[in-house]
Amino acid sequence: MSAGGAVPGGARDALVTGMGFCLPGGVTGPVSTADDLWDVVSRGRSMLDHDGFFHGLVDLPEPRFAEKLPEIPERHTRHYAPVHRYGLLSLVEACADAKLDFRAGDLADAAVLTARAGVDSNFDSYLAWYQAAPEKITPQEAKALFVRLVIAGTSNDVVSVQAALTRSTGPSYTVTCGCASSAVLLGVARRLIESGEVDVAVVTGVDAFDTERMRHADRLRLVAEQTGISATHNSAPPTAPRFDHPMRPYDRRSDCVNFGDGSVTLILESRERADRRGARPYGRLLAQATTRGGLPSAVSIDESGSALSAAVRACVADHVDLDQIPYINGGAEGDPLFTLIEANAVRDLYGACAHDVLVSSQEACFGHSGAPLGNLGVAATLLMMDRGAVCPTANCEQPDEVCGFDPVPGTETRPLAFDHALSFNYQIGGVTSAILVEGSHVC
């Protein structure tokens, strides 16, 4: 028996059978499919630069959205914020990838689960409702404000429209714990499947950040730094977001974070269900573990990496030895503090062999997007195992000597045949997630 109680190769294994995206892309539109994603991450491309403004923007015109989902009437979509469109598009793409027809009821009994961390769309709906002048607004306008508030006023905004689209009768809710949100939710979905509560789970991580508010935040950062509160290399507090130059994970020049919008949806199925319909899985979600560093502050960060090490040990348990895991999809962004955290954790876990471990991050491809990051890391890692190559760390050109591991710098993949990998995510305040995945050729 494994640590999760499932028999290896058993009917209740949680397999990833579909992936879909709505991420910053080029002139052809959003990154939507697995092939689109591979085209970006395998070359370490960054989709963040907009004439010197480094932010991951999703270009999703209304006609393209309507083409994908013509059944949703305009009287509904006019109340949707961008985050709803992103989440619905990634779900549609994941269903197409998994060869599941949600229109025919293939997801009628699915768990529809969504991870959210940002609040911009919620803020907009509340602000419009609050600022409306009762003596000036028409009854139709007032009704529209209330409808928008119901749809977009809470953190479970996206899951409500996704569940309505699929007509799901299964579990449906939102998890929010910052940048670890979708990683933690994948663990929840795995347990739902392995316990027999559901046979299929649709897991989406989605967030959007208003660009003007990001610019405003940058102006506030400049004011705050006048007090002498600024980040220094490899120490707390973490660096502030910036938009005037690119984020560089694991690079000795890293000094900022760029944000990005978007959505990633993964479909998990029991092996029994996937086999029954002849689905080809990308791989198996073996385990997920969540820990917290026991820190005394809501904004603390565990620089030692001990919480991350603990999450890995709990996740790996008796599934596989660490020396069988040559690759980690890291959670570092453009902040040298997070490089230090991962360096300490990898050193603690691998000891003298730490320098042989490949650790790469694709956050600089699309920006630090919050809730989608856990799903993105797992999706990218499964594609790497499937294609026998490790993707580089985007924008890493001069590896920081503090790493202690190989961050795969440059813009080319590193050939590697591997069966198991880890994916890291963590949040300010100490919440840490580790996910163990297994490639399709062994699962």
pLDDT digits (tens, 9 = 90+) for 253-303: 998 899 999 999 999 999 999 999 999 999 999 999 999 888 887 877 788
Q: What is the pLDDT of residue 108?
A: 97
Q: Is the Cα dihedral 212, 214, 218, 223 positive or negative?
A: positive
CA angle 383, 387, 391 (to 5 degrees): 65
Cβ-in-10-Å burial (0-12, 13-18, 19+) of 136 comes to exposed
Give the model confidence (pLDDT) of 43-85 as tens digits.
999 999 999 989 999 999 999 999 999 999 998 898 999 999 9
- Segment 191-214 shows an average pLDDT of 94
- Structure pTM? 0.94
- Segment 93-103 shows an average pLDDT of 98
Tell me if 107 sits within 8 A of 92, measured CB to CB.
Answer: no
Task: Report which of 97, 30, 6, 192 is spatially closest to residue 382, judged by C-alpha positions.
Answer: 97
Tell me if 165 sits within 8 A of 94, measured CB to CB.
Answer: no
Please report where in the chains the tokens 């607004």 appear, as a residue.
137
- Segment 224-243 shows an average pLDDT of 61
pLDDT at residue 147 tops 90: no
- Report how many helices (DSSP H) and strands (DSSP E) the chain contains, helices first: 14, 14
Q: What is the pLDDT of residue 3?
A: 40
- Segment 13-18 shows an average pLDDT of 98
Give the model confidence (pLDDT) of 400-420 as tens digits.
999 999 999 999 999 999 999
For 160, phi then psi, to 5°, come to: -70, -40
Tell me if 182 sits within 8 A of 204, measured CB to CB.
Answer: yes
Q: What is the pLDDT of residue 84?
A: 96
